[in-house]
Each structure stands twice: as C-alpha cells, then as structure tokens.
Amino acid sequence: MNRIRAFFGYRMRALILKEFRQILRDRRLAISLILPPTLQLLLFGFALNATVSNLRLGVVDDSRTPESRELVATMTQSKSFQDAGVYFDVNKMGKKIADGTLDAGLVIPYDYARDLQRGQPVTVQVLLNAMNSNTATIGAGYAEGVIASYSRTLADQGIHAPFQRIAAPDVSRRGAVLLHPAYLYNPGLEPTWFIVTGILGVLLILNGSLISAAAIVKEREAGTIEQLLMSPASTTQIIAAKLFPLFVLLSMMGALAMVMMRVVFGIPFRGNIFLVFAAAGLCLLCGISIGTFIATFTKSARQAQLTLFFVNPPLTSLSGAFTPVEAMPKWLQPVAQFNPIQHFGQISRSAMLKGSGIGTLWPNFLALLAFTVVLVALSIWRFRKQLS
C-alpha cells in the first residue's frame, strides 16, 4: 500500500502536470488532437458512401411513342438516374459510356408500344459501365426497381405486359412468390452507420500512434528525456507519466467523435455506451503503444511517420471498417482476427446498432484486452531499455 502511495505521490503528479503543459504548449500537437480526427470522421462518413445516385442515363428510343416516353420519364424522374441526352444509334451511346460521358444507357425497341398494348412480354435493354463493378451492380438494381414500379403502374391501368430481363432464366408464370423484406437494426439502410462505427477504431489507432510517436521523438530531440533521468523519479513513473496525458487527451478526442456520430450521422446508441467507451480506451492504448514502440527505433519525427506508414495502412485494410471481413478472401479472414481495430468494430457496431452486451461481445473484448496488454508491455519494455 505504501509503495502504491509512493508511486502516485507528488513526483508522479509533477511529471503528469509537466507532460500536460508540454503537450498543450505545442500548438501543432494540440491542434492535431482535435482537428484531424474531426475532419477524418466527417470526410470518411460522407465520402465513403455506397449509395449511388444521379447516374447519367443516355436513351436510344426506337419506339418514339407516348408509352416509351413515359418509361424514360419514369427512369429519369427518380433520384437514381438523370437524363443525359437522347441518341439515335446504340454504337454512339456505347462510345459515350466508354469515354465516361454516360454511366448507363437505356435501349427501347421499335415494337415496344405494340407489344405493350397486346400484353406480350416486353424487353428493354440497360447498358451499364461495369468498370466499377459496385456501381454497375447497384445501378442494375436501381433499374430493375424502377421498371418493377413502372410495371405495377401499368397493371393499375389494365395493361398486363411483363418486362423481361435479358438472359434471365425462364420461370413459370403460374404462381407468384411475394417477398417482404424486414431490415433489422438499420431500417433506413443507412450506409454510414456501418462505415462510421468502424472508422472510429481506425481513428483511435491512427491518431494514437501518430501523436504518441511525435510527442516522444520530439522530446528526445529536445534532450529533456536525459533531464528526466537525472530526477529522483523512477523509470516506471516516467513511462506512466508519458502515457497518461496522451491517453486522457486522446480519450477526449474519442468522446468528441462519439458525439459527432450521434449528432451528425444519427447513429443510435441502443446498447451500453460505457462498454463502447471501455473498448475505445483499450483501442487507444493499443495505438499509443504502437507509436511508443516505433518511436524507440526512430531518431526523428519524419522517420517515425514513415515507419508508421508501413504499419497503419495494413491495419486499416484488414480492419473491416470499410468492407466486411466476410467479403475478404477466406485465407485472409483469419489474419484479420489479429487486428485490434476489427474487434473494436465488432464491439462498437453490435453495442450501438444491435444493443448487444458483454455476454455476447466478451470474445472480442477479451481479444482486444490481450492485444492491449501485449502492446503496452512491449512499448514499456522498449522505452525502459532506451532510458537505461
């Protein structure tokens, strides 16, 4: 008990106060605690959006009838497509799609109106630029949805002419199966809910490693570490005093990011928010430990940043923050389990969106705790070795 009191005595308080003053005195370091994480969260949340809208649609209307013009109007009046011109030749429209002027093309055949009135199957062709497969897949789904809505409108008018997809399998029309999907945990299908809850872990690791490495390397360049060694404080107290202010200030940054997630992006907090805070604290310690560990091998701030460039991008790519881990190759999915960001993403998404508790998330929490203990131990060992 006396040892604990001696460890957290006036020497420890003086070292922590000194670290706070030194960090806040450096304007660049103080600004980097607030401004970059805020901008990164906003940019990632708004820019990394899987929603595709206003696809530029070209039209080749060989029918040139009121019925074909109604179909074109239905396509272009939706938010998915916008009218980008009428073409008289499919080849010319194909060239426009090839050079990027158009995103999609609609080809209406000559006998469109006649077959429609006779109740015969009608086939229209939608051309999509599949260079970006994700955009092409989403655009095809939009086109099918618009045409399905248009078919229901025709049915209300007494016209029963089913539209057919090119190369679609032949199915029996004697019965019908109605699909009524129910979207759990994200009824509005907001894509930012998945991205932002995963980006939070990336920001904690990224900024924690960069700021801790910059702070330690800069102090070593200034020569103040040698002065600390001459003080009566022990090496353990020096290390703890180094890490504690960074953890407190970065925790404030994490709390600000969570407020932005709730206010700006409208992400619900259905579960225990303190569980997310605890996981964020462990994730921050992982980031600070990575930065401290790398700072012990580098001699300048620029060298530390270049070294972190080879560490943070792989962690981000294998984090599951941008794409689900299930979408990765099977041989790469086990590697992602050795990433603390991936486990934090599981905790934040499940706790915020699904309301899961520690009874469900304990494997991820235990894995994150193990990563934290190992990384903190390695960073302290390296830092103490450097001081000695």
pLDDT at 208 (0 to 100): 87
pLDDT at 166 (0 to 100): 46
Which of 147, 164, 181 represents a domain boundary (last residue)? Answer: 164
Q: Is residue 295 part of a domain?
A: yes
In this structure, what token pair is assigned to residue 274?
């303190």
Q: Is residue 37 part of a domain?
A: yes
Clarify whether residues 39 and 61 are in a common domain: no
Q: Is residue 184 part of a domain?
A: no
Clarify whether residues 319 and 289 are in a common domain: yes
Query: What range does the domain containing 106 cover?
Result: 55-164
What residue type is assigned to position 77 of the chain? Answer: Q
**Residue that has been written with the tokens 């060298």 in this structure:** 303
Q: Is residue 178 part of a domain?
A: no
The rounded average pLDDT for each run of 10 residues, N- to C-terminus, in the chain (388 residues) is 60 73 70 71 69 80 84 80 85 82 85 78 80 70 77 61 47 45 69 83 88 80 66 71 83 87 87 90 92 85 82 85 79 88 91 88 93 91 76
Clarify whether residues 107 and 255 are in a common domain: no
Clarify whether residues 31 and 66 are in a common domain: no
Clarify whether residues 263 and 365 are in a common domain: yes
Which of 164, 197, 231 represents a domain boundary (last residue)? Answer: 164
Clarify whether residues 33 and 91 are in a common domain: no
Clarify whether residues 245 and 209 are in a common domain: yes
Exposure string (b/e) for 248-263, b if CB count within 10 Å is 16 or more? ebbbebbeebbebbee
Global pTM exceeds 0.85: no
pLDDT at 29 (0 to 100): 67
Clarify whether residues 24 and 75 are in a common domain: no
Q: Tell the burial category of 324 from Cβ atoms under 10 Å away from its Cβ (0-12, 13-18, 19+).
A: exposed
CA 236/CA 334 separation, integer angstroms: 36
Clarify whether residues 295 and 216 are in a common domain: yes
pLDDT at 9 (0 to 100): 63
Identify whether the C-beta of residue 264 lies closer than 8 Å to the C-beta of residue 348: no
Counted domains in the chain: 2
Clarify whether residues 32 and 82 are in a common domain: no
Clarify whether residues 281 and 349 are in a common domain: yes
Q: Is residue 177 part of a domain?
A: no
Which of 124, 148, 164 represents a domain boundary (last residue)? Answer: 164
Q: Is residue 1 part of a domain?
A: no
In this structure, what token pair is assigned to residue 104?
């999609």
Q: Is residue 2 part of a domain?
A: no
In this structure, what token pair is assigned to residue 287?
């980031």
Clarify whether residues 211 and 333 are in a common domain: yes
Residues in the chain: 388
Q: Is residue 63 part of a domain?
A: yes
In this structure, what token pair is assigned to residue 140?
């095809």
CATH code assigned at 148 = 3.40.1710.10
